[in-house]
Amino acid sequence: MSLEQNKLTNSPSSVENQTSVADKLERTSASVNQETPSTVKGQLAELCKALSTKDTSSHIALLRVVQPGLAGLMDGSVSTLAPIFATAFATHRPFTAFLVGMAAATGAGISMAFSEALSDDGALTGRGSPVVRGGITGLMTFFGGSLHTLPFLIADLHLALIVAYIVVAFELVLIAAIRHRYFGTSWWLSMVQVVGGGALVFVAALIFGNA
């Protein structure tokens, strides 16, 4: 490094900029931690308040429940389509598809719960208790995966498939509605993205189910 570069690096303005950035990060982290209740009960109360209001002050609290919940719902609704429908197409036994679907939904729920809880403890990001977020993600993943599994309790395969298709369509519209309501995503873009992902997984179900 040249002498000029050393001078620029160690110049007062450079040091001031670095100090300013560090101070901003420290203040931001401190303010986030101050806004976050110290107990799980307090965080749950804050989340309930955030869901019932539209003020910008509850925006961070809203993301603590909506974002992990949406991630779980999307994973459960989409990722479990392939094993459930592939089993139904391959075996022509609705109850077998039901068992596979419930197993897939349970496994996905547990996996997503641990993934969300262990990926961020909330200390620096201010996203709240990892136990709460993990629980929300896991429950929503199980909900999304089990909802379109229930129709396979119907003994008639064709009727079960028709009801399952309707439930899947409802799930995809629900995901698009949540993205539109809380994240400002346009209806058309959200529908294209969600339905596109679901269609790809369904194609995989067709391929493996008819192999």
- Per-residue pLDDT tens for 66-118? 889 999 999 999 999 999 999 999 999 999 999 999 999 999 999 999 998 89
174 pLDDT exceeds 70? yes
Residue 179 included in any domain: yes
Using the Cα atoms of residue 70, residue 45, residue 54 and residue 31 in order, give the sign of their dihedral: negative
Q: Containing domain of residue 187, as a range?
A: 61-209
Average pLDDT over residues 189-206: 90
Task: Name which residue leads in pLDDT, 36 or 209.
Answer: 209
C-beta separation of 117 from 134 below 8 A: yes
Domain membership of residue 199 (yes or no) is yes
**Residue 4 included in any domain:** no
* pLDDT value at 29 more than 90: no
- End-to-end, the C-alpha distance of the chain in Å comes to 63
Percent residues over pLDDT 70 in the chain: 69
Question: pTM for the complete prediction?
Answer: 0.72
Give whole-number Cα distances, 92 to 22, 85, 89, 97, 169, in Å: 62, 10, 6, 8, 22
Average pLDDT, whole number, for the chain? 80
Number of domains the chain contains: 1
Residue 47 lies in a domain: no
